[in-house]
Protein backbone atom coordinates (compact mmCIF):
# COMPACT_ATOMS: atom_id res chain seq x y z
CA UNK A 1 0.00 0.00 0.00
CA UNK A 2 1.03 3.59 -0.76
CA UNK A 3 -0.52 6.58 0.98
CA UNK A 4 -1.02 9.70 -1.13
CA UNK A 5 -2.44 13.08 -0.31
CA UNK A 6 -5.67 13.98 -2.05
CA UNK A 7 -6.27 17.39 -3.64
CA UNK A 8 -8.72 19.84 -2.10
CA UNK A 9 -11.10 19.39 -5.04
CA UNK A 10 -11.02 15.57 -4.72
CA UNK A 11 -11.71 15.90 -0.99
CA UNK A 12 -14.70 18.21 -1.58
CA UNK A 13 -16.05 15.92 -4.33
CA UNK A 14 -15.84 13.02 -1.88
CA UNK A 15 -17.71 15.01 0.79
CA UNK A 16 -20.57 15.84 -1.58
CA UNK A 17 -21.18 12.17 -2.39
CA UNK A 18 -21.07 10.79 1.14
CA UNK A 19 -23.17 11.41 4.27
CA UNK A 20 -21.61 9.87 7.40
CA UNK A 21 -18.71 11.35 9.36
CA UNK A 22 -17.48 11.95 12.90
CA UNK A 23 -17.51 15.38 14.41
CA UNK A 24 -15.15 16.49 17.18
CA UNK A 25 -15.78 19.55 19.31
CA UNK A 26 -14.34 20.55 22.67
CA UNK A 27 -15.26 22.23 25.93
CA UNK A 28 -12.67 23.50 28.41
CA UNK A 29 -10.00 21.30 26.88
CA UNK A 30 -12.09 18.10 26.85
CA UNK A 31 -12.63 16.84 23.27
CA UNK A 32 -15.82 15.00 22.34
CA UNK A 33 -16.65 12.92 19.22
CA UNK A 34 -19.98 11.87 17.78
CA UNK A 35 -21.02 10.25 14.52
CA UNK A 36 -22.86 12.74 12.28
CA UNK A 37 -25.03 12.54 9.17
CA UNK A 38 -24.44 15.54 6.91
CA UNK A 39 -24.98 16.95 3.44
CA UNK A 40 -22.20 18.98 1.84
CA UNK A 41 -22.59 21.56 -0.94
CA UNK A 42 -18.86 22.09 -1.44
CA UNK A 43 -18.61 25.08 0.95
CA UNK A 44 -20.44 23.96 4.07
CA UNK A 45 -21.59 20.74 5.72
CA UNK A 46 -25.23 20.85 6.87
CA UNK A 47 -26.64 18.74 9.69
CA UNK A 48 -29.48 18.37 12.10
CA UNK A 49 -29.48 17.31 15.74
CA UNK A 50 -31.44 17.21 18.95
CA UNK A 51 -30.07 19.49 21.64
CA UNK A 52 -27.30 17.57 23.32
CA UNK A 53 -23.70 17.76 24.38
CA UNK A 54 -22.30 18.52 20.93
CA UNK A 55 -24.63 21.49 20.37
CA UNK A 56 -23.86 22.88 23.82
CA UNK A 57 -20.12 22.46 23.19
CA UNK A 58 -20.25 24.05 19.71
CA UNK A 59 -22.28 27.01 20.94
CA UNK A 60 -19.52 27.63 23.46
CA UNK A 61 -16.61 27.01 21.01
CA UNK A 62 -17.54 26.92 17.29
CA UNK A 63 -14.22 25.35 16.19
CA UNK A 64 -14.76 21.75 15.09
CA UNK A 65 -13.01 18.97 13.20
CA UNK A 66 -14.85 16.45 11.03
CA UNK A 67 -13.37 13.21 9.71
CA UNK A 68 -15.00 11.31 6.87
CA UNK A 69 -13.72 8.05 5.50
CA UNK A 70 -14.53 5.32 3.03
CA UNK A 71 -12.91 1.96 3.63
CA UNK A 72 -13.07 -0.38 0.64
CA UNK A 73 -10.40 -2.65 2.08
CA UNK A 74 -7.59 -2.03 4.57
CA UNK A 75 -5.39 -1.12 1.62
CA UNK A 76 -7.89 0.84 -0.42
CA UNK A 77 -9.41 3.78 1.41
CA UNK A 78 -9.85 7.52 1.56
CA UNK A 79 -9.97 9.70 4.67
CA UNK A 80 -10.72 13.43 4.67
CA UNK A 81 -10.27 15.79 7.65
CA UNK A 82 -11.99 19.17 7.83
CA UNK A 83 -11.31 22.07 10.17
CA UNK A 84 -14.43 24.17 10.33
CA UNK A 85 -16.67 26.57 12.19
CA UNK A 86 -20.13 25.87 13.60
CA UNK A 87 -23.03 28.18 12.71
CA UNK A 88 -26.45 27.47 14.16
CA UNK A 89 -29.37 27.93 11.75
CA UNK A 90 -31.75 29.26 14.36
CA UNK A 91 -35.53 29.13 13.98
CA UNK A 92 -35.74 32.83 13.10
CA UNK A 93 -36.75 34.87 10.02
CA UNK A 94 -33.09 35.60 9.34
CA UNK A 95 -32.31 31.91 8.84
CA UNK A 96 -35.58 30.81 7.20
CA UNK A 97 -34.16 30.44 3.66
CA UNK A 98 -31.03 28.69 4.90
CA UNK A 99 -33.09 26.20 6.92
CA UNK A 100 -35.15 25.34 3.84
CA UNK A 101 -31.91 25.00 1.86
CA UNK A 102 -30.39 22.73 4.54
CA UNK A 103 -33.54 20.65 4.73
CA UNK A 104 -33.65 20.13 0.94
CA UNK A 105 -30.00 19.15 0.86
CA UNK A 106 -30.36 16.75 3.81
CA UNK A 107 -33.60 15.08 2.68
CA UNK A 108 -31.74 13.49 -0.26
CA UNK A 109 -30.62 10.96 2.33
CA UNK A 110 -33.89 9.21 3.32
CA UNK A 111 -32.59 8.28 6.77
CA UNK A 112 -30.98 11.57 7.73
CA UNK A 113 -33.56 12.41 10.40
CA UNK A 114 -33.69 8.97 11.98
CA UNK A 115 -30.94 9.07 14.63
CA UNK A 116 -32.53 12.17 16.15
CA UNK A 117 -36.07 10.83 16.18
CA UNK A 118 -36.03 7.21 17.09
CA UNK A 119 -37.12 6.23 20.53
CA UNK A 120 -34.18 6.23 22.92
CA UNK A 121 -34.36 4.15 26.06
CA UNK A 122 -31.84 5.12 28.72
CA UNK A 123 -31.69 3.16 31.93
CA UNK A 124 -35.18 1.84 31.46
CA UNK A 125 -36.83 5.22 30.86
CA UNK A 126 -37.61 6.95 27.57
CA UNK A 127 -35.59 10.03 26.78
CA UNK A 128 -37.83 13.09 26.48
CA UNK A 129 -38.06 14.65 23.02
CA UNK A 130 -35.67 17.55 23.04
CA UNK A 131 -35.22 20.81 21.18
CA UNK A 132 -33.95 20.29 17.62
CA UNK A 133 -31.26 22.26 15.85
CA UNK A 134 -30.13 22.73 12.27
CA UNK A 135 -26.56 23.86 11.83
CA UNK A 136 -23.82 24.11 9.27
CA UNK A 137 -20.06 23.80 9.44
CA UNK A 138 -18.10 26.26 7.32
CA UNK A 139 -15.18 24.39 5.74
CA UNK A 140 -12.05 26.42 6.53
CA UNK A 141 -9.46 23.77 5.74
CA UNK A 142 -9.69 20.35 4.18
CA UNK A 143 -7.07 17.67 3.67
CA UNK A 144 -7.31 14.09 2.54
CA UNK A 145 -5.29 10.92 2.16
CA UNK A 146 -5.85 7.84 0.09
CA UNK A 147 -4.47 4.33 0.57
CA UNK A 148 -3.61 2.70 -2.74
CA UNK A 149 -3.34 -1.10 -2.93
CA UNK A 150 -0.01 -2.54 -4.04
CA UNK A 151 -1.56 -3.85 -7.26
CA UNK A 152 -2.36 -0.27 -8.29
CA UNK A 153 0.87 1.30 -7.03
CA UNK A 154 3.88 1.74 -9.28
CA UNK A 155 6.71 0.89 -6.83
CA UNK A 156 5.44 -2.21 -5.14
CA UNK A 157 8.67 -4.00 -4.19
CA UNK A 158 10.20 -0.77 -2.93
CA UNK A 159 7.27 -0.03 -0.67
CA UNK A 160 7.21 -3.45 0.89
CA UNK A 161 10.94 -3.63 1.48
CA UNK A 162 10.85 -0.12 2.85
CA UNK A 163 8.30 -0.55 5.62
CA UNK A 164 9.25 -4.07 6.54
CA UNK A 165 12.84 -3.00 6.99
CA UNK A 166 11.80 -0.15 9.21
CA UNK A 167 9.52 -2.35 11.24
CA UNK A 168 12.27 -4.83 11.94
CA UNK A 169 14.70 -2.09 12.83
CA UNK A 170 12.19 -0.46 15.11
CA UNK A 171 11.15 -3.60 16.92
CA UNK A 172 14.72 -4.84 17.15
CA UNK A 173 15.94 -1.61 18.65
CA UNK A 174 13.07 -0.55 20.80
CA UNK A 175 11.45 -3.70 22.03
CA UNK A 176 13.74 -6.67 22.14
CA UNK A 177 17.02 -5.08 23.21
Interface residues toward a second copy, by CB under 8 A:
1-5, 22, 24-26, 29-35, 61, 63-67, 69, 74, 79, 81, 83, 91, 99-100, 103, 111, 113-115, 117-123, 129, 132, 145, 147, 155, 158-159, 162-163, 166-167, 170-171, 174-175
The per-residue b/e assignment along 7-34, b for 16 or more CB within 10 angstroms, e otherwise, is: eeeebbebbeebbebebbbeeeeeeeee
What distance lies between CA 38 and its chain's CA centroid? 9
Please say which residue, 56 or 155, places its beta carbon nearer to a second copy.
Answer: 155
Nearest residue to 68 via CA among 149, 143, 147, 148? 143
- How near is the Cβ of 154 to a second copy at its closest, in Å? 10
Spatial distance between the Cα atoms of 13 and 3, rounded to a whole number of angstroms: 19
Nearest residue to 107 via CA among 15, 39, 13? 39
Please say which residue, 13 or 148, places its beta carbon nearer to a second copy.
Answer: 148
Please say which residue, 41 or 70, places its beta carbon nearer to a second copy.
Answer: 70
- How near is the Cβ of 41 to a second copy at its closest, in Å? 17
- How near is the Cβ of 43 to a second copy at its closest, in Å? 20
Please say which residue, 3 or 42, places its beta carbon nearer to a second copy.
Answer: 3
Contact 133, 50 (CB under 8 A): yes
- How near is the Cβ of 20 to a second copy at its closest, in Å? 9
Please say which residue, 12 or 66, places its beta carbon nearer to a second copy.
Answer: 66
Q: Which helix (H) or strand (E) holds 15?
A: helix 8-16
- How near is the Cβ of 123 to a second copy at its closest, in Å? 6
Amino acid sequence: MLIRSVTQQESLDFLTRTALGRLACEHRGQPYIVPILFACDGNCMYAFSTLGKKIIYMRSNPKVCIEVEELVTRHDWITVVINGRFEELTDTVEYKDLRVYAHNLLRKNPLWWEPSYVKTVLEGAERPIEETTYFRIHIDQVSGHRGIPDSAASHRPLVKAHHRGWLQKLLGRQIHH
